C-alpha cells in the first residue's frame, strides 16, 4: 500500500474544502455588516417564522417543491444516458426518446393546469 497514490485525493479534498470555506470566511470578515428590517425578514417560506402554528399555509409551496424535485430527478437521467449512448445502441436511444416524450408531456400538463403560475 503506497501512500503516494492518495496524494491526489488529499489535494482534491483540500481544494474542495478551500473553495467551499474560504469565500464564506472572506465574506464574513470583509463584508459590510449593516442589518436592517428588510434584510432580517423571512424570504424563503413567505410567512413569519414564529407565528401561530395553526395558521393556514399555502399548498403552492409544496407543489412547486415537489415539481422541482420530480423534474430535477428526471433530468439527472440525461447524463448517464449521454455517457453510455454508444453502448446502448438504438434500443437505448428509443427508450430515452420515450422517456423524453413523457417528460415533455408531463411538463406541458403541469404548465396547462397552471401549477407553475404564482398569482
Q: Residue 94 belongs to a domain with what CATH number?
A: 1.20.58.1610
Cβ neighbors of 60 (< 8 A, separation 6 or more) are 118
Q: Which three cell numbers stand for residue 2?
A: 503506497
Can you state the percent helix, strand and coil of the chain, rounding each to 5? 70, 0, 30
What pLDDT shows up at residue 46? 58
Asked if residue 9 is part of any domain, the answer here is: no
Asked if residue 99 is part of any domain, the answer here is: yes
What pLDDT shows up at residue 22? 96
Give the dihedral sign, CA 11/14/16/19: negative
Asked if residue 45 is part of any domain, the answer here is: no
C-alpha to C-alpha distance for 81 and 79, rounded to whole angstroms: 5
What pLDDT shows up at residue 48? 60
DSSP 8-state class, residue 5: G
Computed over every residue of the chain, the mean pLDDT equals 83
**Structural domains counted in the chain:** 1
Q: Is this prediction's pTM over 0.85?
A: no
What pLDDT shows up at residue 28? 92
Asked if residue 18 is part of any domain, the answer here is: no
Residue ranges in the chain whose pLDDT is less than 50: none
C-beta of residue 114 within 8 angstroms of C-beta of residue 60: no
What pLDDT shows up at residue 1? 64
**Domain containing residue 60:** 56-119
Amino acid at each position: 500500500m503506497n501512500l503516494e497514490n492518495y496524494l491526489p485525493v488529499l489535494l482534491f479534498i483540500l481544494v474542495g474544502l478551500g473553495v467551499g470555506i474560504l469565500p464564506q470566511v472572506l465574506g464574513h470578515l470583509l463584508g459590510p455588516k449593516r442589518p436592517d428590517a428588510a434584510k432580517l425578514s423571512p424570504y424563503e417560506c413567505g410567512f413569519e417564522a414564529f407565528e401561530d402554528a395553526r395558521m393556514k399555509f399555502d399548498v403552492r409551496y409544496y407543489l412547486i417543491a415537489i415539481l422541482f424535485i420530480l423534474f430535477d430527478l428526471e433530468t439527472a437521467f440525461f447524463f448517464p444516458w449521454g455517457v453510455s449512448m454508444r453502448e446502448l445502441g438504438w434500443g437505448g436511444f428509443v427508450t430515452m426518446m420515450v422517456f423524453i416524450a413523457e417528460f415533455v408531456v408531463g411538463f406541458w400538463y403541469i404548465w396547462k393546469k397552471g401549477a407553475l403560475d404564482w398569482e
